[in-house]
Amino acid sequence: MTRPQIRPGHIALVASDTDEATQALTALAARYGNASPEDADVIVALGGDGLMLQTLHRFMNSGIPIYGMNRGSVGFLMNEYREEDLLARLAAADVTTIHPLFLQAVDQSGGHHTARAINEVSLLRQTYQAAKLRIFVDGRRRLDELICDGCLIATPAGSTAYNLSAHGPILPISAPLLALTPISAFRPRRWRGALLPNRAVVDIEVLEGGKRPVSAAADHTEIRNVSKVSVREDTASSCVMMFDPEHGWDERILSEMFRY
């Protein structure tokens, strides 16, 4: 995607409710103004990765790029915070378009739910009982029974988040792949997950859901007591992110791959 034209006075600022983030918003607004999102060429998000995800969800499909600056704790999705030269940084930033996952779930009562995830869709046990799952890929049964704490399907954008903590693979941002990763698999103990093409549809059935209840989460949205879920990439939806070229997403992912 080509870099957008950023006009002075057409920057919208959003911030988390921490002191550090609200002080940054006040300082940047005094320098660059604070346009309404409807009139903005770019939205600058001030906080951590949680705020960035919320902002990406809020402005999904708007076409407005989001440029994050870290005023939180983790900040993998964020750029370094500096007050100076913001217009020049925005003009030079690399632009990446990403597609979320689309979750369709049915709960134990027969209710239907949908949600989208930029990082991952995860299934997690709700009690001390391990989850028991059956996994299909493109309609073909691939794993008859996975006994585990849960499993997740991660996008390249989310592969360095919960997926990495669960020992899943890191995916380059432009890779046409999804990561299917078990969480504390008990049986089959040696199964480490799978790399799937991003066009794949993953269906997961919850076995013995009354005895072994399972929740499904798509980023910040949680659905309790699911009986089955279907997950695919939503190519009709998109988010636009901006990164400083010296610390772009490819560089961040490569750095994470060689971290020890």
Residues identified as active-site:
49
- Residue 256 phi/psi, 5-degree rounding, is -65, -35
Query: Is residue 164 part of an annotated ligand binding site?
Result: yes
149 is in an annotated binding site: yes
Asked whether residue 236 is marked as a ligand-binding residue, the answer is no
- In SS3 terms, the chain reads as CCCCCCCCCCEEEEECCCHHHHHHHHHHHHHHCCCCHHHCCEEEEEECHHHHHHHHHHCCCCCCCEEEEECCCCCCCCECCCCCCHHHHHHHCEEEEECCEEEEEEECCCCEEEEEECCEEEEEECCCCCEEEEEEECCEEEEEEEEECEEEEECCCCCCCHHHHCCCCCCCCCCCEEEEEEECCCECCCCCCEEEECCCCEEEEECCCCCCCEEEEECCEEECCEEEEEEEECCCCCEEEEECHHHCHHHHHHHHHCCC
Is 162 labeled as ligand-binding?
yes
Q: Is 163 annotated as a binding residue?
A: yes
Q: What is the distance between the alpha carbons of residues 225 and 29, in angstroms, rounded to a whole number?
A: 44
Annotated binding residue 67: no
Q: Is position 161 annotated in a ligand binding site?
A: yes
Which residues, including other chains, have CB under 8 Å from residue 236's CB and lie 6 or more apart?
Answer: none
Q: Strands 202-206 and 226-233, how do they pair?
A: antiparallel
Annotated ligand binding at 165? The verdict is yes
79 annotated among ligand-binding-site residues: no
222 is in an annotated binding site: no
Give the residue from 120, 105, 104, 137 showing the smallest Cα distance to 214. Answer: 105
Q: What are the binding residues for NAD(+)?
A: 49-50, 119-120, 149, 157, 160-165
Q: What are the binding residues?
A: 49-50, 119-120, 149, 157, 160-165
